Chain A
Amino acid sequence: DIQMTQSPSTLSASVGDRVTITCRASQSISNWLAWYQQKPGKAPNLLIYKASSLESGVPSRFSGSGSGTEFTLTISSLQPDDFATYYCQQYNSYPYTFGQGTKLEIK
């Protein structure tokens, strides 16, 4: 199975900050990587697919990059609504696997 490792596990930041979350795969997954945002008590929401494609309706301050085994999610200027938990997920091969999550907290 492909293991996905996110860092950091927790990130404290302020409104207006630029933040980056990293996701590493234990083997190459090409660009079959998605990023989700999840708020407490809610279902995950797709932000980015195929590593760098922005899902319709997602603000352009979110961006993704990477291929192979190393990927990043960047939020260019944090807004109050962005404080949530973020997950990466590989869909290169079954079983699909998720990273452990990054909780983005208000500093």
Chain B
Amino acid sequence: QVQLVESGGGLVKPGGSLRLSCAASGFTFSDHYMGWIRQAPGKGLEWVSYISHSGFTIYYVDSVKGRFTISRDNAENSLYLQMNSLRAEDTAVYYCARDGGYRSYDFWGQGTLVTVSS
């Protein structure tokens, strides 16, 4: 069965960096687009980033452009989100999700909490 398992969250000071990972299994990872979506405590969902199956096409929400970098390693069935220059407003649970194309996000990980605080 499809599984997505995020890791790498934690407490970081403003201006710091963190790298999130998402380990995928149960499907052919290299065939699928992937994405990151976040949810601030008590708030709604916010789409963060997209990466094509090859990694050649990437999109970001404006608020993270220039600070976050999405990447993937198809040989390792893994998705990553490098987060630099972190701000308090980046505090959220970060979900990786499989982009099912016409089905949008059909599978989600359990999420990893990132807390940016001094």
Interface residues of A (CB under 8 A from B): 1, 32, 34, 36, 38, 42-46, 49-50, 53, 55, 87, 89, 91, 94-101
Contact = CB atoms under 8 A, between A and B. Distances in A.
Determine the main DSSP class of B at the interface with A.
strand
B33 to A, nearest CB: 11
Nearest to B62: A95
Contact of B46 (A34, A42, A98): A98
Contacts of A32: 104
Nearest to A87: B45
Contact of A95 (B59, B100, B104): B59
A98 B104 contact: no
Range class of the B interface residue count = 20 to 34
B104 A99 contact: no
A99 B102 CA distance: 19
Which of A38, A43, A55, A91: most chain B CB closer than 10 A?
A: A43
Contacts of B37: 44
Interface stretch (B7-15, B24-32, B80-88, B105-113): B105-113
